[in-house]
Amino acid sequence: MTKHLYRTLTWPEVKERAAAGAVIVIGVAAIEQHGYHLPVDTDNVLVEHVTEEAARRSDGQILTAPMIHYGFNEHNMGFPGTINVRETVFIDFCYDVAHSFVRQGFDRIVFVNGHGSNQMLCNLAARRINNTTRALAGAVPHWALAREAVDKLRQSEYPGGMAHACEFETSIYMYLRPELVQGDKMVPRETPSRVSRFIYDDLFGSGPVHMVNRWSRITQTGVEGDPMLATEEKGKAFAECAIANLVEFARSFRQMEVPAEVDLNYRNETL
């Protein structure tokens, strides 16, 4: 079977896979508080599962890179357990990792992100790849790949019911590592970021105004949403949907044609 994890390849094998046009998937997550009931590695566990399973099922089309474990998390530093990487450092770091793959000859890179506040930074790192190299890069949060399953199974209120350590994240963690979910410590429902019709937050749609407050100002538990609605069955369905969509996206991304770039600017040769 073709290897699906980049870390297991030798350098000649890396060269072969670049020549074969493998799509590089880079998981990006965070170490941060997830309420009283979930471990601080929640985002890592979810992203690792989705990205590694997708690669395993992709017939060699996806090669999953070692993850970026830490994320941009200043807003959560009021809670023990959280690690922060400054936003500009994070963009540069993600870019440098992706750019290293491009320098080896890979030309399709996807960041699959598991932490909300990383998303806009991953988007920018991907765009910098597109603007500075011949490769194409994109970025997607793994919950967006689970949309169809969420639409079918979601019981949380909208907006605010699925945001952090919520029905969505708790369900997948329960499915993957049930022994580490402390069900007796779950809080029933918290929607601290639903401030007004302009400012609210949910994995599946936020308010028109982007305003992320420092977290300890608005919640004592660190939860945003309703983990009491989580089940292992939902977790499996969410994860399976994300995996299937990631495999399908990688396949189409690989086949996407890149038209030649033209520069129509006037050139004054005397300058």
Query: Which residues sit opposite 27 in a β-bridge?
Result: 112
Q: Which is nearer to Zn ion, 43 or 167 (CB)?
A: 43
Q: Which of 90, 222, 220, 213 minimizes the C-alpha distance to 169?
A: 222
Of 73 and 245, which CB lies nearer to Zn ion in the complex structure? 73
Q: Tell me whether residue 29 or residue 110 sits nearer to Zn ion (CB atom).
A: 29
Min separation Cβ 60 and Zn ion, Å: 30
Contact stretch for Zn ion (CB under 5 A) within 19-27, 78-86, 169-177, 236-244:
169-177
Number of chain positions touching Zn ion (CB under 5 A): 3
Is 43 near Zn ion (CB under 5 A)? yes
Instruction: Find the part of the chain contacting Zn ion (CB under 5 A) among 1-9, 166-174, 178-186, 219-227.
Output: 166-174
Site for Zn ion in 86-125 (CB under 5 A): none
Nearest residue (beta carbon) to Zn ion? 43
Q: How far is the CB of 233 from Zn ion (least distance, A)?
A: 20
Interaction of residue 224 with Zn ion, rule CB under 5 A? no
Q: Minimum Å distance from CB 222 to Zn ion?
A: 10
Q: What length is written for the chain?
A: 271
Least distance (Å) between residue 180 CB and Zn ion? 14
Binding pattern to Zn ion, positions 190-219, x when CB under 5 A?
------------------------------
Q: Which is nearer to Zn ion, 99 or 142 (CB)?
A: 142
The nearest distance, CB 169 to Zn ion, in angstroms, is 5
Q: Please report how close the Cβ of residue 226 comes to Zn ion at its closest, in angstroms.
A: 15
Q: What is the CA radius of gyration of the chain?
A: 20
Angle at 142 between CA 132 and CA 68, to 5 degrees: 55
Q: What's the closest the beta carbon of residue 115 comes to Zn ion, in angstroms?
A: 6
Report yes or no: 250 and 64 within 8 Å, Cβ to Cβ: no
> Could you list the residues that contact Zn ion (CB under 5 A)?
42-43, 169
